[in-house]
A and B are shown apart, each in its own frame.
Chain A
């Protein structure tokens, strides 16, 4: 299909955030719970049961559970946000070898992305100027996800490495689900 020589009218592309910014930021945790439930369902729907042959390649990534210990609501919220970012990033990689259900994967990513956008819209609303956030908990989470990222790279994103990462992500989301229910 050839584009018109004369004309391509591409109008204003609105960011999803502009429509979401009118949402009530106080009710965000409730929405997050629903998104996490849905994400867990989609994660399961994406692929089949964990393949037996991948068991021997299983690695312990040691999720830093202390970041989710609910000392302060804000700390936990920041941790959850960071985790969503990284999960979104990981699942943006080359997934052809995993051969998962494309629709489920798309919905999974879209849901995470919307959550991230909503959260950011609320953050922007609150802040008048930027003070760079230097949270140590973020670093712990970044180290953890870096391990997963390196693991995937080392195994060249093969099926087993993806299945192990998927199982690890499920574990992550389940932990978040537990914590959010207590908030």
Chain B
């Protein structure tokens, strides 16, 4: 045992007279390190302990032979393998669902060649000649640990004659898949009415040695159909493999199963083209790619991890233009080594390194690179704009300068000359340009007329009034004060008359 001070007796190996013993019952912990030593005894004499033998049961143990059941029918051999520890409660090989089985088969004759192949626990060996005796043996293998088990005993069996192929059975069962849409097609040569059931089995179930490996289910939508095709996309997920077969049924309750076909969704399918949009700016071609799959592209993109191959070429009348290729990882890319004024065409293909698959090519998209004419146009436009800008800035400046010049000229260099007949003006440089005017003498005009007497004749008075009026009218230059004074005196006169 593991602890040196706690040696225990090994059951099954006590008082043994032969040089071997079976201590299987003593071993329960298969993964622990065990130490064993042995000594000889004869009556009272005891030998010293042998050197210690260290072992881990799991690593010492060999995978035992599997059980084999054979059935020879219709020219084929049906085989059913049971795992090495099939009926044991306590097992060394826990993960027995992961055993792979290797079959070695040969004709029971001289100089027969041995054929190796890998088989499932429930399988059929059909590439055999009829009415021949074959011998075979099977071993279980744990591939991950590179551990090959012991072979089963050899079994020999004779194949029967091959029956005539039943026309009822569906033949040429094949899969057509585009992206994540899967269709099954088959042929049939039966003259009378046939209906079909398409059945599937999820891949991992085949690894079980029990009933689960033959638990075929009907594909929904393909039960009791009469046409020779089936859309089985509904049962497909990206998790792993599936097996499909077609069961043909005649009117007389006779049925026949077709060959099984294996479908590995991510491997078997054809990949549709990606979608491409192109755009041009100067001499740079911008490419925008949508991954293949359209509406299912989520799933497709998740599992495939696409890279893209862009093929582009100059589309000219000369068909010997070289096709260039560029690989890009993202869905956007640019192509830069282009010449101007050329029509370029391109197409894109998606590919997956892991699955080593390429999609169909996208549609060809063509686009023309802009020519050099653009450049001189740009130069001209820039020049004209600059010119206008300069003019706009210069105009006010020139105008301002012109105005200033005028003012200065007017002040310092007047264009008008004074008349020559006015004295004193000719030679006087600094005389004022304005002629001073003398003040006009203002006359103090007053109407010298006074009426004091009462006996003035009315007629005279009227005349006097008129004349007064008239004299008043003519007194245009008189002062107001005097006029008002004369009015007062007139009022006095009029009162007296009344």
Contact = CB atoms under 8 A, between A and B. Distances in A.
B97 A120 contact: no
A99 B445 CA distance: 139
Output the residue of A31, A92, A142 with the most chain B CB within 10 A.
A92
Contacts of A22: 356
A4 B168 contact: yes
B114 interface: no
Contact of B262 (A2, A13, A38): A13
Given A16-B264, A113-B203, A143-B31, A4 B254 contact: yes
A23 B355 contact: yes
A123 B100 CA distance: 14
A109 B267 CA distance: 19
B255 A139 contact: no
Nearest to B100: A120
Contact of A6 (B74, B76, B238): B74
Nearest to A120: B143
Output the residue of B124, B241, B259 with the most chain A CB within 10 A.
B241
B97 A34 contact: no
A29 B402 CA distance: 84
Given A24-B356, A114-B239, 16 more contacts: A7-B163, A7-B164, A7-B256, A12-B126, A16-B240, A16-B241, A16-B262, A23-B355, A88-B204, A114-B203, A114-B241, A116-B98, A119-B144, A123-B144, A133-B144, A140-B31
Interface stretch (A52-60, A68-76, A124-132): A124-132
Given A24-B353, A142-B58, A34 B268 contact: no
B58 A130 contact: no
A128 to B, nearest CB: 11
Nearest to B207: A113
Nearest to A81: B144
Given A109-B204, A110-B204, A139-B56, A149 B94 contact: yes
A20 B31 contact: no
A182 interface: no
Contacts of B123: 13
Contacts of A49: none
Contacts of B260: 10-11, 13
Interface stretch (B145-153, B446-454, B457-465): B145-153
Interface residues of A, number: 61
Given A16-B240, A116-B98, A139-B56, A4 B255 contact: yes
A30 interface: yes
A114 B239 CA distance: 7
A170 interface: no
21 contacts: A1-B249, A4-B254, A4-B256, A7-B169, A7-B256, A9-B165, A10-B257, A12-B126, A12-B127, A13-B260, A14-B262, A17-B118, A22-B356, A23-B354, A88-B204, A89-B96, A89-B97, A110-B237, A113-B204, A120-B144, A134-B59
B110 interface: no
A54 to B, nearest CB: 24
B478 to A, nearest CB: 122
B95 interface: yes
Interface of A: 1-4, 6-17, 19-20, 22-24, 27, 30-31, 34, 38, 81-82, 85-86, 88-89, 92, 106-114, 116, 119-120, 123-124, 127, 130-134, 138-140, 142-143, 145-146, 149
A124 to B, nearest CB: 7
Contact of A34 (B148, B241, B302): B302
B127 A9 contact: no
A74 to B, nearest CB: 13
Nearest to A38: B239
Nearest to B168: A4
B350 to A, nearest CB: 16
A20 B267 contact: yes
Contact of A19 (B208, B254, B268): B268
B356 A11 contact: no
A66 to B, nearest CB: 15
A110 B208 CA distance: 13
Nearest to A134: B59
